[in-house]
Amino acid sequence: MPGKSMNWRSGALLLPGLAFLAILFAWPVARLVATSFSDSAGAFIHYQRVFLDPIYVRVIGRTLLLSTQVAVLCLLLGYPLAYQLNRSGPLGKAVILLCVLIPFWTNLLVRSYGWIVLLNPQGIINGLLREIGLIDGAIPLVHNTTGVLIGMTQIMLPYMVLPLAAVMSRLDPTLPSAARSLGASPLAAFVRVYLPLTMPGVLAGLLLVFMLSLGFFVVPALLGGPRDILLAQLIEFNINSTLNWPFAAALSTVLLVATITLYWIGDRFFDLGRLWGTR
Amino acid sequence: MPGAAVQITGLNKRYGDFVAVDDVSLSIEPGEFVTLLGLSGSGKTTTLMAVAGLTEPDSGAISIDGRDILSLPPEKRGLGVVFQNYALFPHLDVFDNIAFPLRMRKWADADIRKAVERVLQVVSLEQFSDRRISALSGGQQQRVALARALVFEPPVLLMDEPLGALDRSLRDQLQTEIKRIQREFGVTVIYVTHDQEEALALSDRIAVMANGKICQLGSPDEIYERPNTGFVAGFVGDSNRIAVSMGNPEDQFRRVSAPAAPELELLALDRTEGNSGQAVLMVRPEAIEMSGERPDTDVNLLEARVELREFLGASIRFTLDTRLGPIHVRKGRSGPAAGFKPGNDIWISWSPSEGALFPPAS
């Protein structure tokens, strides 16, 4: 375990990083939190707005719902992918990993505009559907929640596949065989043995994707509709358009606290620290 | 349920160019304990897994009590399998691990409780019912795996190196226990191991396997005393190997000569199946007599000097320097030979029926 046998020499190696974090991260975050409480009308005035004004409650609710949907979609797509990844030979592994990671490494803007090209009413997908006569007009696939879901699921997929694959690779491959030899059908062997044993990966993936989705800005801004904005867009709006920084700071603090709480829950109750490499 | 007969006929399995199982046929009696003994890659585990239904053979037939099972998936074969690493379910406790096959068979809860408690008693783990698997020792995990494979009273129990991960004293203890439990259940056992001592101790019959084939099938006594190839003789038990040239038959024996000492008069059983020319003479270390005086014989007699004396507990192992090269002799701790010390000049001899000739390549 790193950190336990640390002496002052190796401690000194941490100083540049710590200084960097303290000056450019910890201090601004502290200032941000302080800003959110500094108002002549009362320290909690902005938080009252966040949690009592139906408009903002709806934005928070929408953000939570969308993050949940992205997490679930990633699980449905990612579980079979991770399973196959774990079973494949070296070539198959490389192909699957590349398919999952190349979009992940691609510039966010490029990828988002790429989705617009594919999904817009005159785009490739709608054009194809019209061509084969499945539809007459166009299915609205972008500049709405559908577009955001598609774009975010794609970028979040690695955060689901990698922890799942890590758990699956550590699983004793004879366990499903043992279950079969003891009378379990393939489905029963999956439900009673494989799924429960890969649950830590499922929970890690769900939490990770959910947490990261809460604060997403670029994809919802480009692929989402003008009416159903999310928390990060609301923060941006308050900073750049209405210049209400204390309120933006309150929103940011809510997001920060939610993320830290989720991280703590995952670390404390689901032993996810091991999967994320912090333990 | 009493044990079932198992019939394996013409079993073949290839992995690419590698022939894992090469035309293996084996007929096992109800209630018999048969061991597949061989090195890794000899095809023993592949054969076992084909019976379990976890490896699909390329060709051949497997039947249990005359019923073909090859087309059945593993869960429909109803055989007990004990895996090398036990393959216990880490998310279930001891009780739920053992109850697993009964739950899959949709037994009533009361019957499950009764059956699990009974089998826990058989493996002496009554107090461990609600332990987590990770809280058990290796030997205890082994017993849970055995209990889980037996609780639904399968007609056949398949065991893949079940003691491989345990230390020596625990293995001896569990060997005895496996044998006792097998008698109690009357189950037919197919047991896979690379440990010849384990195979000799446990089995009614041993099938020695190499390169995907069964090289010899017989009782432990037969395998040890009358190995049919040099490989079997070398693999099961220790042997002295001496390179010789074949001479003429003499009674039921054959006269041979060692190039290193051509004047020695050597007689041995011929198991070369008509080979002539070169052969390997094999003699078990415990078959060689040691004496201070020259014995009253001319056959298989030579002078030796004691080089090493290793005390092994129940026996003593001598390494002797002779004109045929180093020769190992194993003698009881309390016998007359036990007193020889390094540097002693002695005579060694063995009966012609204790030496066997094999083709040099085998």
pLDDT tens, position by position, A96-119: 999 888 888 888 889 999 999 999
Domain B6-233 is found in CATH 3.40.50.300: yes
Cα angle vertex A164, ends A163, A166, to 5°? Answer: 65
Question: Do A201 and A90 meet the contact criterion of CB atoms below 8 Å apart?
Answer: no
Query: Chain A within 8 Å of B69 (Cβ-Cβ)?
Result: no
Query: Chain B within 8 Å of A61 (Cβ-Cβ)?
Result: no
pLDDT of residue B165: 78
Q: What is the mean pLDDT of residues A5-24?
A: 82
For the stretch B36-47, pLDDT in tens is: 999 988 999 999
Nearest-by-CA chain B residue for A195: B91
Instruction: Give the domain extent around A182.
Output: 45-276
pLDDT of residue B65: 95
Question: Do B203 and B159 meet the contact criterion of CB atoms below 8 Å apart?
Answer: no
The whole-angstrom separation of Cα A256 and Cα A28 is: 13
Whether residue B75 and residue A177 make contact (CB cut-off 8 A), yes or no, is no
CATH number, position A98: 1.10.3720.10
Instruction: List the one residue out of A194, A180, A2, A204 whose CA is nearest residue A87.
Output: A194
pLDDT of residue A1: 42
Q: What is the mean pLDDT of residues B22-29?
A: 96
Whether residue A178 and residue B101 make contact (CB cut-off 8 A), yes or no, is no
The nearest CA of chain A is from the CA of B223 a distance in Å of 32
Domain B239-358 is found in CATH 2.40.50.140: yes
**CB nearest A182 (choices: B73, B85, B101):** B101
Sequence-ordered strand ranges (E) for chain B = 6-15, 18-28, 33-38, 59-64, 67-68, 80-82, 156-160, 188-193, 205-210, 213-218, 240-250, 253-258, 261-270, 278-283, 289-291, 301-311, 315-322, 325-332, 345-349, 355-358
B263 contact partners, CB below 8 Å, separation of at least 6? none
**Would you tell me which residues 250-289 of chain B have a C-beta closer than 8 angstroms to some C-beta of chain A?**
none
Give chain A's mean pLDDT.
89
Whether residue B104 and residue A196 make contact (CB cut-off 8 A), yes or no, is no
**CB nearest B104 (choices: A175, A177, A184):** A184
**Cα atoms in the Cβ-side hemisphere of radius 13 Å centred on B257:** 7
As given in the structure block, the two tokens for residue B328 are: 């190992």
| Domain residue spans of chain B | 6-233, 239-358
Nearest-by-CA chain A residue for B150: A182
The nearest CA of chain A is from the CA of B146 a distance in Å of 12
**CB nearest B52 (choices: A179, A181, A192):** A181
pLDDT confidence of B359, banded at 50, 70, 90? Answer: confident
pLDDT for A278 beyond 60: no
pLDDT for A272 beyond 80: no
> Which of A102-111, B84-93, B98-107, B186-195 has the lowest average pLDDT?
A102-111
Whether residue B87 and residue A183 make contact (CB cut-off 8 A), yes or no, is no
Please name the residue ranges forming H helices in chain B: 44-52, 74-77, 94-104, 109-122, 138-150, 168-185, 196-202, 220-225, 230-235
The whole-angstrom separation of Cα A44 and Cα A58 is: 20
Chain B hits for A183, Cβ within 8 Å: 75, 78, 101, 104-105, 152
The whole-angstrom separation of Cα B113 and Cα B186 is: 22
Domains identified in chain A, total number? 1
Inside any domain, residue A231: yes
Question: Do B169 and B138 meet the contact criterion of CB atoms below 8 Å apart?
Answer: no
Query: Chain B within 8 Å of A94 (Cβ-Cβ)?
Result: no
Instruction: List the one residue out of A126, A207, A104, A224 whose CA is nearest residue A160.
Output: A207
pLDDT of residue B101: 97
Whether residue B75 and residue A181 make contact (CB cut-off 8 A), yes or no, is yes
Whether residue A185 and residue B75 make contact (CB cut-off 8 A), yes or no, is yes
The nearest CA of chain A is from the CA of B195 a distance in Å of 22
pLDDT for B148 beyond 60: yes
Inside any domain, residue A6: no
pLDDT for A5 beyond 70: no
A vs B: CB pairs below 8 A: 61
The whole-angstrom separation of Cα B180 and Cα A145 is: 67
pLDDT of residue A3: 47
Residue B129 phi/psi, 5° resolution?
A: -50, -45
pLDDT for A19 beyond 60: yes
Question: Do A88 and A78 meet the contact criterion of CB atoms below 8 Å apart?
Answer: no
pLDDT of residue B360: 81
Give chain B's mean pLDDT.
92
Interface ipTM above 0.95? no
Query: Chain A within 8 Å of B101 (Cβ-Cβ)?
Result: yes
pLDDT for A279 beyond 60: no
Question: Do B338 and B314 meet the contact criterion of CB atoms below 8 Å apart?
Answer: no
